[in-house]
Chain A
Amino acid sequence: MNHDYQYTPKNGFSKWLDKRLPLMRFADENLLSFPTPKNLNYFYTFGFILTMCLVTQIITGIVLAMHYVPNTLLAFDSIEHIMRDVNYGWLIRYTHSNGASMFFLAVFIHMFRGLYYGSYKEPREIIWILGVVIFLLMIITGFMGYVLPWGQMSFWGATVITNLVATIPIIGEPVLTLLLGGYSVDNPTLNRFFSLHYLLPFVIFGVVILHIWALHVTGNNNPTGIEVKDSKDTISFHPYYTVKDLFAYIVFLLMFCYFIFYNPNILGHPDNYIEADPMLTPAHIVPEWYLLPFYAILRAVPDKLMGVLLMFGSIVVLFFLPWLDTMKVKSARYRPLYKIFFLLFVVSCLLLGYLGAKAPEGIYLFLSRVSTIYYFAFFLVIMPVLSRIEKPLPMPIGISNPAIDSSVYDSGNGVASGAPSYAMDSVNRH
């Protein structure tokens, strides 16, 4: 990283401030001059896009909470009040409801990117783990938010998902009662879900700060997976990545706007425009699209408890990624086998998403099982095995030096010669 650069206060006020609260220094070091690899592609803009998603959700959510009534008798009508009578209420609500989908779309791409370029590997394990924590919090927040409009899918989705807790032996039932505030989904459930739905985004915000903090300690990974060696490999965050991120964000916003303004209900379920009726079960209970892969895993297993465990396991396994994939070469660019298995993994996730919306029977059930097995095998079998047997492709010496690093090429195995040795190598060569 660039250690030559130092922040120097320019005028009297900033000098005065710098001695008391080095706010400008902090902003300069972390936002403006922060050294960033110069070869980041557009997949690396999703961190910024996700930050904007969170901010959008919080702002629209706060305004919605001014008009929404968390009461089973009034909730549904209060949403319609927002849609019809509140000034630009429709805009705020459609932004919030589609914003959740956009948030998840962006987070999936962000996570697949991390998986592809090995961004969870040493020294970035904590960044990845914090990211999984954020993802888990997002799922909980999104699920609770979907309950608030108190439509048919809200009610029945909440009933199905909360009942999963009851499958846990001994403590299941009492925990469920605590969660629901009674014996079934009702007014107390709606009240606590609303309260938690308001709280959790701020918790997410806190973890996001830790996530970025950890990122700024190690610096960014990059598409080559080769660590930054000197200032030739980096450019300052501003203006390069502020502008590039903003450009990507506008492309993202245009797509977001298409949904808000021209197809605002396509990502939701029509049944949620029917007020919740505890006496009438919908033909198919499906969660929001972003939870469908997990729903497919749940239903792929014949045993209910095992299904629940596997569903949670599918996220828990992500925490252990840095220790399941021990291959020192980070980027899939230089891992021909991993690249293939990774693409299959993406396919299995998309397939699980598709199957989550289908009834679990016949070919759909069979495919769900195959995809579920592959999902877990990818992490628990393929990753550890590939770490041992895969021969990485010849790698360049550094981000700015395309010459092949012959030491790696000769040894042929990324495990034997770790990343630090590349660094040594390139220094010697200079």
Chain B
Amino acid sequence: MNIFKKIFKNNFSFFLVLFIFSGSLNAAEGTTFKNQKPGFSFEGPFGKFDKESLKRGYQVYSEVCSACHGMKQLSFRNLSQPGGPEFSVEKVKAIASGYSIFDGTNEYGEPIERSMALTDRFPKPYGSKDEAKAANNGAYPPDLSLIVKARVDGYNYLYSLLNGYEEEIPEDLDIGDLSYNPWFPGGAIAMYQPLYDESVEYEDGTIATIDQMSYDVTNFLAWAAEPTMEERKKLGFTVMGFLFIFLILMYLSVNKLFKDVH
């Protein structure tokens, strides 16, 4: 009895349902343009983050994006964790100590200001949501911790958006005070073009083109949204490998058992 053939025959509709749903679900809302796909190292079942790109990406975030966008789910300690940019602990301590925070009060009830440590969250750019809106054309700059997971085709979209500002606005589009970006739904975006060539000076000497910075910061944000991705894929391989061996044993068992059942 050929069980595999039988399973496929019997459960064909099952795979069909699976296929239909896995393909069509998130295709519902598209952006104006088809996203560019620069190709990231973390894609695919064995994909890993490019650590050098993550380090550069953090530099872009901290020098450019962090002026308006917070990352409230991230702590400085995450920067030295395995599976991330893997800065040395000393380096991260040095980065953290560059920021300060009011933490508790002294015996007179006055707030104490101290420099940040590994355990602190990334600093917030604004004290409140209203302050953030007032400073940004009335639009709230979203927290970036989960931005890659919170958009359809997350990282390709972000890369396309950051890399896709255009000077020439189509004649039929009135964008007012906003900027034009064909990748943003509707085309009019409140965020001014954030990246220009040489916006940052990379520590490792890489030339900071808009394209390079968009790529690096997208890498960084993809890691920030899912810092356990490398661990997940690695464990998945082990678990599925085990299950596959188990599957073969069970296949042989079923075959043997049902040989005499007619």
A residues touching B (Cβ–Cβ < 8 Å)? 38, 41-43, 77, 80, 83-84, 90-91, 94, 105, 108-109, 112, 235, 239-240, 243-244, 246-248, 250-251, 253-255, 257-258, 260-267, 269-271, 273-274, 283-284, 286, 289, 346, 350, 353-354, 357-358
Contact = CB atoms under 8 A, between A and B. Distances in A.
Interface in B8-51: 10-11, 13-14, 17-18, 20-22, 24-26, 28-29, 45
Given A251-B247, A262-B45, A84 B227 contact: yes
Nearest to A274: B150
Contacts of B7: 42, 248, 251
Given A105-B18, A354-B20, A42 B11 contact: yes
B221 to A, nearest CB: 12
Contact of B261 (A43, A235, A254, A269): A235
B28 A358 contact: yes
A251 B10 CA distance: 13
Given A43-B10, A273-B150, A80 B243 contact: no
Contacts of B152: 270
A130 B45 CA distance: 41
A243 B253 contact: yes
Contacts of A105: 14, 17-18
B145 interface: yes
A239 B21 CA distance: 35
A244 B10 contact: no
A247 B247 contact: yes
Nearest to A250: B247
Nearest to B47: A262
A154 to B, nearest CB: 13
B135 interface: no
Contacts of A109: 11, 13-14, 17
A243 B254 contact: yes
B149 A254 contact: no
B240 A271 contact: no
A288 to B, nearest CB: 10
Contacts of B189: none
Interface residues of B, number: 51
Contact of A80 (B145, B240, B247, B250): B145
B253 to A, nearest CB: 5
Contacts of B225: 273
Nearest to A346: B13
Nearest to A151: B150
Interface of B: 3, 6-7, 10-11, 13-14, 17-18, 20-22, 24-26, 28-29, 45, 72-73, 78, 142, 145-146, 149-152, 154, 225, 227-228, 231-233, 235-237, 239-240, 243-244, 246-247, 250-251, 253-254, 257-258, 261
- Give me the 9 closest cross-chain CB pairs, A-B, nearest first: A261-B236, A273-B150, A247-B250, A273-B149, A273-B146, A90-B228, A42-B10, A80-B73, A250-B247
A244 B254 contact: yes
A247 B28 contact: no
A91 to B, nearest CB: 7
Given A43-B11, A240-B258, A257-B236, A289 B243 contact: no
B17 A84 contact: no
B143 to A, nearest CB: 8
Nearest to B234: A261
Nearest to A101: B21
Contacts of A248: 7
Nearest to B233: A261
12 contacts: A38-B261, A42-B11, A80-B145, A84-B227, A112-B13, A257-B240, A261-B237, A262-B45, A262-B233, A267-B22, A267-B25, A270-B151
A102 B232 CA distance: 19
Contacts of A358: 28
Contacts of B149: 265, 270, 273
Contacts of B17: 105, 108-109, 350
Contacts of A269: 26
B243 A250 contact: yes
Contacts of B3: 247
B190 to A, nearest CB: 14
